[in-house]
Amino acid sequence: MALGYDSSLFILAFDHRGSFQKKMFGIAGEPNAEETAVISDAKKVIFEGFKRAVNELGVDRTTAGILVDEQFGADIVREAEKEGFVFAMPVEKSGQDEFDFQYGTEFGKHIEDFNPSFSKVLVRYNPDGEAEMNARQSARLKELSDWLHANDRKFLFELLVPATDEQLASVDGDADRYDKELRPDLMITAIKELQEAGIEADIWKIEGIDTAEDCARIADQVRSGGRDGVVCVVLGRGANDAAVDHWLKQGAGVDGYVGFAIGRTIWWDALKGYLDKTLDREAAAEKIAANYKRFIDVYKG
């Protein structure tokens, strides 16, 4: 299977696990069966919004997709596969600074069982960060990359580059300055190091970048060395609508960018309304559908 992806892709992401159960539901630790059922039901509301966008608002099902986890979304995944939707599933343990497999050496069995369109990882990797941790992560990621491509499966890589203390101090502790002045170059270096370690993603989920010029530089790196089909999608980061709109507009005109993967910005408020009963289920799903379609329109516009 050729490396890369050859279509637009607009992912509604709701694979959040540890942070989701804690921040949305106030549940710490391992949820019990009743709590799990409540969390799973909330994720079904998001999926209902996604289906409304496709079935009622005219979103193209060939470019629409979801990202959802096995822990709380197994039933959703089965339905998505049955209905022919594009869907991705996470491979990583939730809420860890260092990438590791959710299911250890059994990761391949879980991928084969659910048969996702893409297997996704979230990785925190700063080239100037702890070298030993970066090396451990790279070794595990290469194992995954090799397995996926040996089994004709697509790899979706979400790269986060958190600032080191020294990097943040160099911009007077200003996170916005870090994002604008330092992070683009660090992302390019991180992608280059991961590629040199033998990790070959088909799609890179890229944190919001403030200029089209930096988006183009990142796209050039992901496509370097003959990786002509490899593409990027814009990551929402849970930011407000205005910030996400800006990032989408910067990426949308760049060769090598094909869409987005946005989660909380689309569904957080609607789901909160459903849970506190200020919105009924149908209204919450309608709001999620409308938000999802709006971001697609922003990107296409």
What's the token pair of residue 103? Answer: 């299911």
pTM of the model: 0.96
What's the token pair of residue 118? Answer: 């893409």
Closest CA to 48 of 289, 278, 210: 289
Per-residue burial over 3-13, b = 16 or more CB atoms within 10 Å of its CB, e = otherwise: bbbeebbbbbb
Please state, in angstroms and as integers, the Cα–Cα distance from residue 155 to each residue in 23, 88, 147, 225, following that order. 28, 9, 10, 18
- Rounded CA separation 270/284 (Å): 5
Per-residue burial over 146-176, b = 16 or more CB atoms within 10 Å of its CB, e = otherwise: eebeeeebbbbbbbbbebbeebbeebeeeee
Q: Sign of torsion, CA 220 233 244 129?
A: negative
- Rounded CA separation 87/90 (Å): 10
SS3 of residue 173 by DSSP: coil
Residue type, 138: S
- Rounded CA separation 66/298 (Å): 18
pLDDT of residue 238: 84
- Rounded CA separation 292/267 (Å): 8
**pLDDT tens per residue, the chain (301 residues)?**
799 999 999 999 999 988 899 889 988 888 999 999 999 999 999 999 999 999 999 999 999 999 999 999 999 999 999 999 999 999 999 988 999 999 899 999 999 999 999 999 999 999 999 999 999 999 999 999 999 999 999 999 999 999 999 999 999 999 999 999 999 999 999 999 999 999 999 999 999 999 999 999 999 999 999 999 999 999 998 889 999 999 999 999 899 999 999 999 999 999 999 999 999 999 999 999 999 999 999 999 9
Q: How far is CA 223 from the centre of its chain?
A: 19
Q: Which residues pair with 203 in a beta bridge?
A: 156, 231
Residue with tokens 């497999």: 101
Ordered by where they begin, the domains of the chain are 9-300 (3.20.20.70)
Q: Is 82 exposed, middle or buried (0-12, 13-18, 19+ CB in 10 A)?
A: exposed
Q: Is 93 exposed, middle or buried (0-12, 13-18, 19+ CB in 10 A)?
A: middle
Please state, in angstroms and as integers, the Cα–Cα distance from residue 123 to each residue in 2, 167, 260, 278, following that order. 23, 19, 17, 36
Strands 231-235 and 203-207: parallel
Closest CA to 126 of 67, 210, 203, 207: 207
